[in-house]
Amino acid sequence: MPTIDEIRESRMHKLETLRSHGIDPYPPDCNRDTTIADLVRDFDVRAAAQKKNCIAGRIMSLRLHGGSAFADLFDGTGRIQIYLKSDKVGEEQYKLFVDTIDASDFIEVAGEPFLTKRGEKSVMVSTWRILAKSLRPIPDEWFGLKDEEERYRKRYIDLLLNEKSAVIARQRSAFWNSMRQFLLERDFIEVETPVLENTTGGAEARPFITHHNALDIDVYLRISAGELWQKRLLVGGLPRVFEIGRIFRNEGMSREHLQDYTQLEFYMAYSDYQQGMEMTKELYRRIAHDTFGRTEFTIRGHKIDLAGDWDEYDFSAMIQKEYKFDPLDVKVDAAARALDKAGIEYDATTLTVERGVDMLWKKIRKNIVGPGFLVGVPVYLEPLAKRSRDDNRVVERFQVIIAGSEVGKGFSELNDPTDQRERFMRQQELRDAGDEEAQMADMDFVEALEYGMPPAFGFGVSERFFSFLLDEDVREAQLFPLMRPKK
């Protein structure tokens, strides 16, 4: 079995052979006049016409038989067999093909479609031309890339050999475009907000820090898709805005969490979280239908039907029932006792009510199938949501719960600048006490609110929802997840 270095050396020699014949192994043009998918779809008509078709693609496999050669050509739209005979392309061109062409090379061929004796759709080649000479062979299609880490590192190979990965790539595009179209149909405008920020906002997360050389300041990579910026746009008179963009959180990795990923956030003036719940159900059903053609899924072993009834779960009531602890009773010692009873480990020296209650909830959440909405969250857990009109100790916020996890959050946006300032100051106290996930106090945003912002509903959902619908690790749902460099 030749080594990769020996294979490269052999292919380099073939590349030089092409050049010695006056052939550019990497020409800038291509004469293709049809895709393989179109050729296969209209095969009978094209074959009956007995006219040449010019196709192009990568050679996925190559078989030589004396004076003839068979190859499978793939162009990203489809695959077809091509057939070269020395008496059809000429002895010289046939010999050049045999001497210089390998599997993985990109070529262009012209010829007539025909059916083989076995009934396989094929193209009888009359002329061929190199488009790109490969120096490394793709792995055998049967064995492919079996190691998960290697598949992520070499996704370009995985896409070639693993039809499932190619399908996911297309579904991912459909997923985001479904959201975009849903919102555009409802008169939202798409915006772009800063990725580099002086102050992070819109979420509780540890940010990445970098240095801006021109301004000589440290800045943060954003942890939300422009929440505070988009609400500034509501202040500025744009009533419906959204952004689909990358966000960054310097936290742990798991089956559900990555450090950089794509998220949608939208904001709608003159609306609230109750209207938002109905809109969210419509959105999720639309996404499922547009992306997968169905609304029923099996996720983490749970059967989910997005088209069915959605339940409602009261955060405070569930915690009180499970742990005999009222999360609206904001005392650290009460939270600590509930954590002890639940068998949840914690650092007593840094424990706050906020973190203690959050840990209690996450244990309960694992057993909720959904789909449903989590409501009744205490004010101290959500610095950006409006207080409930029924109980000012909780906020008008919901989270979408599916298969034991949170896959989307929306709320009636807080537009009272005095209340917002006070909540930011509490978050700053938590940061000063060592809580790196507490939100930063953005007083510039408070100033914007002082000019007046209309009542509004805001919502965010990330690609985690896509990975849930796939029932796959979130890394599988990304084309190029971040990997540790090879040593």
Q: How far apart are CA 460 and CA 226, in angstroms?
A: 10
**Widest CA span of the chain, in angstroms?**
89
Q: How far apart are CA 154 and CA 151, in angstroms?
A: 5
In order along its 487 residues, the chain shows pLDDT tens digits of 889 999 999 999 999 999 999 999 999 999 999 999 999 999 999 999 989 999 999 999 999 988 899 999 999 999 999 999 999 999 999 999 999 999 999 999 999 999 999 999 999 999 999 999 999 998 875 555 667 788 898 999 999 998 999 999 999 999 999 999 999 999 999 999 999 999 888 777 888 999 999 999 999 999 999 999 999 999 999 999 999 999 999 988 888 888 999 999 999 999 999 999 999 999 999 999 999 999 999 999 999 999 999 999 999 999 888 888 888 877 788 888 888 888 888 888 888 888 888 888 888 888 899 899 999 999 988 889 999 999 999 999 999 999 999 999 999 999 999 999 999 998 888 888 888 778 888 999 999 999 999 999 999 999 999 999 999 999 999 999 888 888 7
The bridge status of strand 372-375 relative to strand 311-314 is: parallel
Q: How far apart are CA 400 and CA 368, in angstroms?
A: 11
Show Cβ contacts of residue 308 under 8 Å, excluding neighbours closer than 6 positions.
371
Q: In which element (H, E) is residue 19 found?
A: helix 4-20
* pTM of the predicted structure, to 2 decimals: 0.89
Q: How far apart are CA 215 and CA 236, in angstroms?
A: 27
CA atoms within 13 A on the CB side of 42: 12
Could you tell me the CA-to-CA distances from 337 to 8, 327, 345, 367, 430 in Å, in that order? 66, 12, 11, 22, 21
Q: Which two tokens stand for residue 18?
A: 């092409």
Q: Which two tokens stand for residue 321?
A: 């029932």
Q: How far apart are CA 26 and CA 24, in angstroms?
A: 5
Show Cβ contacts of residue 144 under 8 Å, excluding neighbours closer than 6 positions.
158, 161, 162
Domains and CATH numbers, the chain: 4-132 (2.40.50.140), 160-310+370-470 (3.30.930.10)
- Amino acid at residue number 370: G
Contact 162, 169 (CB under 8 A): no
Contact 313, 322 (CB under 8 A): no
202: left (phi over 0), alpha (psi -120 to 50) or beta: left
Q: Which two tokens stand for residue 110?
A: 């012209």
Q: Which two tokens stand for residue 354?
A: 């906020």
Inter-axis angle of helices 443-450 and 227-235, nearest 10: 20
Q: Specify burial of residue 251 (Cβ count, 10 A radius: 0-12, 13-18, 19+).
A: middle
From 113, 111, 116, select the one nearest 129 (Cα to Cα). 111
For 433-453, give the DSSP string: TT-TTSPP--HHHHHHHHT--
